[in-house]
Structure 1
């Protein structure tokens, strides 16, 4: 296994992680920003108000993006297993 192969495997793994987690992180960020703006305008400083909408939004996003996320991870894993002989030998 050459250094280029290791770098390409790690590069693809990082890309799969970013593509898989990106939508959920973006939705949590937008939800947190909207809740913060709402808290600032209404002067409500309740700490639990920031977490509950983010948890609900991320759970809803998992329902919508879950199949895409699983397909990305399984495609990467399938590619690793198919090329295992080439990586080892």
Structure 2
């Protein structure tokens, strides 16, 4: 395997990881930011008030976007399997 092919495969894999993780984490991050601003404005320091909305948002994103996430991962896996002769030979 040449170094160029290895770097290209690694780059594609890292891009896929970043895409899948950010699709799950970013909505929870925004909800957590909104809850943190609300807690700072009202001086309520309850831990469950911060945790529960983020958990619910993460579960909603996984349930709504789960099909898309799995499809992207399957497409990437199939493309990697199709590239085995290029990488090996």
How many residues of Structure 1 are paired with residues of Structure 2 in the alignment? 89
Give a deviation string over 1:1-56, Cα, whole Å, max 9, x none. 10000000000001111111112111011010011011111111011211110000
Runs of 4+ in 1 over 2 A off after TM superposition: none
Partner of 1:65: 65
Deviating more after overlay: 19-28 vs 55-64: 19-28
In the other structure, the counterpart of 1:11 is 11
Q: Which residue of 2 aligns with 1:31?
A: 31
TM-score, structure 1 normalization:
0.93
| Alpha-carbon distance in 1 for matches of 2:30, 2:51 | 13
Structure 1: which 5+ residue stretches go unaligned? none
- The root-mean-square deviation of aligned C-alpha atoms, in Å, is 0.9
| TM-score of the superposed pair, with normalisation by structure 2 | 0.93
Q: Which runs of 5+ in 2 are unaligned?
A: none
